[in-house]
Amino acid sequence: MLGKRDSKKDDESGGLNPFRNLEKATVLQETRTFNETPINAKKCCLILTKILYMINQGEHLAPTEATQAFFAMTKLFQSKDVMLRRMLYLCIKEMANIANDVIIVTSSLTKDMTGKEDMYRGPAIRALCRITDNTMLQSIERYMKQAIVDKSPSVSSAALVSSLHLMKQGPEVIKRWVNEVSEAVNSDNVMVQYHALGLLYQIKKNDKLAITKLVSKFSKSSLRSPFAYCFLIRVSARQLEEEKDGFDKTLFDFIESCLRHKSEMVIYEAASAIVSLRCTTSKELVSAIGVLQLLCSSPKPSLRYAAVKTLNKISISHPAAVTACNIDLENLITDQNRSIATLAITTLLKTGNESGVDRLMKQIATFMSEISDEFKIVVVEAIQSLCSKFPRKHNVMMTFLATMLREDGGFEYKKAIVNTIVVIIEENPEAREIGLSHLCEFIEDCEFLPLATRILHLLGREGPRTTTPAKYIRYIYNRVILESAEVRAAAVSALAKFGASSDDLLPSILVLLNRSKLDEDDEVRDRATFFYDVLSQNDKALSSAYILNTLNVSPVGLERALLQYNQHVTEKPFDIKVVPIVEVELQKPSNETVLPSAVKTTEKPAASRQDLYTEQLSAIAEFAHLGPLFKSSTPVDLTEPETEYSVKCIKHTFTNYIVFQFDCLNTLNDQLLEDVVIKMDTADGYEIISYKPCIKLAYNTPGISYTLVKIPDDPSQVVATFGCNMKFKVKDCDPNTGEPDNEEGYEDEYALENVEINVSDHVQKVLKPNFGASWEEVGDANELEDTYALSMPSLEEAIKNIIQFMGLQPCERSERAPEGKNSHVLLLAGVYRGGHDVLVRAKLAYNEGDVAMQLTIRSSDSIVPQVIAQAVG
């Protein structure tokens, strides 16, 4: 016993931590005890435990300190005490990456590994493999082969698991052990069989044909281990997901046959795999759903939880199939395990009909106070999907969410509720005012600053669009008076948006902003002063540009541009157009309910994908003169899957140039490619300036080749198609070492798919929160209006194609066509290459398979409307 609990309270709380006040210096001083003779095994075990505790608590040990302690530990090999020896193995594993010269214990570990004491052999193998690097791997190869086929299950499992870790260092050496591993798969021990199958898969995972044979072989044989069956099911499911040419009936039949296995673990794994497959049809789901339905009635809580969680996951994608389990799910509502009850109700909410919503909401309200925040979040997410399914029930949902907001709860829980209310407001205009009212009441007593600032931002965006915007002013100005500086600044910005949107409210807003100019915080004062001066001008264009529609620039790119500007003495003012425009990223709602992790991660601002490309291209001397990067496209495959070479193209658009980045991958292990370049056929008007080859393309190592192309001077020439051909020098090489057989090689080439340049490559999406203000700001000086007849089966299809052709960003949620209506107005915004704003208003009318479109385009440049119109015409 390391400590003694003297009170009943200690028993209930799990006891006091005997290591809570450890000091690193004291523990390291105690390691001198290891040098005493005779060795006090009990005392040394306690010291080793303290070292392990410090390391696992994140205590930093300097290499010198760790090495001194490690060398002192080596003296403990003289003791024959079993517990001390096993503790010593643990410490060696933990300090392998901290201390220097750890290979000094190799001979001692090898001796224990090949000895007769099974209690030493397994742990010794694990410790030895932890300190072994690629250069030493061959020296222990013979011992590892023997251990893999050892009669002792603990020794064999230790060798197999250690080999899995060694695959990262020396895969080529481990692959030579395939015969021993295959023999271990036939072991009678369930864990040995499972570990051997896992290692065999890792050895062959890069060979799809070998994996197919592996699955086929063991699916027909009778494996003893249920763990091995579960692993084989997962491998089969992965193979089915990766199938490009069709559905492999043999693999699916194997998974389906596992539904009749004697092990409940295997039965559930098979059912879970079937319902998770993207290619599964409703007919093929029947058997798996039936198994999950039976598991819902299991006496084991773990099986009931697993079954209802899986049903919850697929309730959105296959609601009709899950409906068959509704009676069993109804019975689980009263389950003693509240986690199971919560998942059952949320599943019913997703699959049930509109008439049953009120009853389920009343049932779940009875035990909301008894479940943890994690499962309350699951309920909130179910309500969000329910509102999308039954928009007429938004009053019931909003009332329920408002009640949850007033209850106690942590940040993640309240954040989930606020996010759900925001989504409901955005998707259902009828719910806007009631949702904003609930959020206004919440911020009156909100303790979480990020949520308060987000709600204020939402009020500034949505509040002016309501029928009575003045009623929200009081809630916002209360934050200016009562809250912290961060919230006060957000409130000032929200007030300014009300003033910019409403002429009636402007005088009152100016009075409130004038008061905020005396705020004690610099940020609040600066915002109030700035917004007051802009609004005082009473200029709609000015208010639109600086209040209603914010700058759509990359913060990282803005910082880089300002640093470059300050490095040179110049009288030329800073041009905001040199800053890359931030790419609009839309969050797609997930259909799966994900249980939140107990570990909270701190979100850190990171460079965007375009910022990384900017840094990458600016480091290349040939591209230094191209100016700021305007846009980078998503990667496009130029080769078919499963071919010997893989090539993807990314188009980087600059003001006057386009850089084609070709990401190349060589999948042949017996070839080394050199001087890889993608030759492009010249398109009309486009001029190929230079090629930058990939000097060396080794097996399975990515390489990049670039082609620089000049955009035509004629602004109307934007669309083009380039033929591509990959040319390179081939050197045959040794598949094991990668070294070429000779230095000469031979020239070769490989045909690729064509690369197309579209209008969307010249346009960057920009979100305009207030499209009407931006429309007036641009004006009608450069306006183009035309009428088109589109052959489209529906309004939704027409909207989708127009957005795709033009490459612009939908604004004010206009990409969603109203249900039951034959007319719609689509609003699009963006920036054309060169920094020219472009706005599009498309009035659509559907009539029996045809869509009539009246297109109006405005821009700050006269040529841009003509170019954008070409995308449709």
DSSP calls for 667-710: --TTEEEEEEEEEEPPPTT-EEEEEE-EEEE-BT--EEEEEEEE
Q: Report the percentage of the chain scoring pLDDT > 70.
A: 93
3-class DSSP state of 788: strand
The whole-number average pLDDT for the span 35-51 is 89
Query: Contact 653/666 with Cβ under 8 angstroms?
Result: no
Asked if 350 contacts 315 with a C-beta cutoff of 8 angstroms, the reply is yes
**Rounded Cα–Cα distance for residues 517 and 735 (Å):** 72
| pLDDT computed for residue 593 by the predictor | 38
The confidence score (pLDDT) of residue 363 equals 72
pLDDT, average across residues 640-644: 82
Tell me: pLDDT of 253 over 70: yes
The Cα–Cα gap between 563 and 444 comes to 41
647 contacts 726 by C-beta, under 8 angstroms: yes
Per-residue pLDDT reduced to its tens digit, 279-331 = 777 777 888 888 888 888 889 989 999 988 888 888 777 777 887 787 888 78
DSSP state string for 528-593: HHHHHHHHHTT-HHHHIIIIIS---B-HHHHHHHHHHHHTS--SSPPPGGGSPBPPP-PPPPPSS-
> What confidence tens digit (pLDDT) does each residue in 71-100 have?
888 888 888 888 898 888 888 888 888 888
Task: Return d(Cα 74, Cα 35) in angstroms, integer.
Answer: 9
pLDDT of residue 597: 36
Q: How distant, in Å, are the alpha carbons of 130, 577, 762, 765, 829 from that of 835?
A: 56, 6, 10, 12, 13
- Mean of the pLDDT values across residues 800-822? 83
> 554 — alpha (psi -120 to 50), left (phi > 0) or beta?
beta
Which of the two residues, 848 and 644, has the higher pLDDT score?
A: 644
Three-class secondary structure assignment of 297-320: CCCCHHHHHHHHHHHHHHCCCCHH
Q: 854 burial class (0-12, 13-18, 19+ CB within 10 angstroms)?
A: middle
pLDDT at 713: 85
Per-residue pLDDT of 679-702, as tens digits, reads 998 777 888 999 999 999 888 889
- Contact (CB, 8 A) for 185 and 179: no
In 3D, which of 58, 85, 61, 59 has the Cα closest to residue 74? 85
Paired residues of 647 in beta bridges: 664
Is residue 646 classed as helix, strand or coil in its secondary structure? strand
Q: What is the mean pLDDT of residues 265-277?
A: 89
Phi, psi of 696 (to 5 degrees): -145, 130
Q: Which of 563-572, 604-613, 781-790, 807-816 has the lowest mean pLDDT?
A: 604-613
Confidence band of 856 (pLDDT split at 50, 70, 90) = very high
Most confident stretch, 396-405, 555-564, 584-593: 396-405
SS3 content of the chain, % helix, strand, coil (to 5): 55, 15, 30
Higher pLDDT among residues 21 and 455, named by residue: 455
Highest mean predicted confidence (pLDDT) among 352-361, 849-858, 861-870: 849-858
Residue 61 has pLDDT above 60, yes or no: yes
What is the SS3 assignment for 873?
A: coil
**Does the pLDDT at position 381 exceed 50?**
yes
**What is the greatest pairwise CA distance in the chain?**
98
| Average pLDDT of span 24-39 | 87
**pLDDT confidence bin for 873, thresholds 50/70/90:** low
Is the pLDDT score of 828 beyond 50? yes
d(CA 198, CA 194): 6
CA–CA gap between residue 539 and residue 549 (Å, rounded): 14
Mean pLDDT, residues 238-245 taken together: 75
Chain mean position to CA 22: 39
The model's pTM: 0.60
Cα 493 from Cα 366, distance rounded (Å): 41
What confidence score (pLDDT) does residue 256 get?
Answer: 87
The pLDDT confidence band at residue 528, using thresholds 50, 70 and 90, is very high
> For the stretch 609-645, what's the b/e string if a residue is b when 16 or more beta carbons lie within 10 angstroms of its beta carbon?
ebbebbeebeeeeebeebebbbbbbeeeebbeeeeeb
Q: Which amino acid is at 65?
A: E
Mean pLDDT over each residue of the chain, to the nearest integer: 83
DSSP 8-state assignment for residue 149:
T
Q: Which one has a higher pLDDT value, 696 or 380? A: 696
- At 102, is the pLDDT very low, low, confident or very high (cuts 50, 70, 90)? confident
468-505 confidence digits (pLDDT tens): 888 889 888 888 887 888 999 999 999 999 988 888 88
Mean pLDDT of the 266-271 span:
91
Q: Give the pLDDT confidence score for residue 7 in this predicted structure.
A: 45
Cβ neighbours for 222, distance < 8 A, ≥ 6 positions apart:
none
Amino acid code (one letter) for 850: D
The contacts of residue 747 (CB under 8 Å, 6+ apart) are 727, 728, 729, 730
**CB atoms near residue 845 (< 10 Å):** 15
pLDDT given at position 651: 93
For 336-375, the pLDDT digits (tens) are: 887 888 888 778 877 766 676 777 777 777 767 777 777 7
Please tell me the predicted confidence (pLDDT) of residue 245: 55
Tokens of 95: 């300090």
* Residue 738, pLDDT above cutoff 50: yes
Per-residue pLDDT at 352: 67
pLDDT in tens, 602-627: 444 456 777 788 888 888 888 888 88
What is the spatial distance between Cα 67 and Cα 65, in angstroms, rounded to a whole number? 5
Report the pLDDT value the prediction gives residue 10, as an integer from 0 to 100.
46
Separation in Å, CA 847 to CA 772, 803, 821, 826, 850: 28, 20, 11, 17, 5
The count of other CB atoms within 10 Å of the CB of residue 514 is 13
DSSP one-letter string for 607-633: --HHHHHHHHHHTSGGGGGG-S--EEP
Q: Is 419 helix (H, G, I), strand (E, B) or coil?
A: helix
Question: pLDDT > 90: what percent of the chain?
Answer: 12
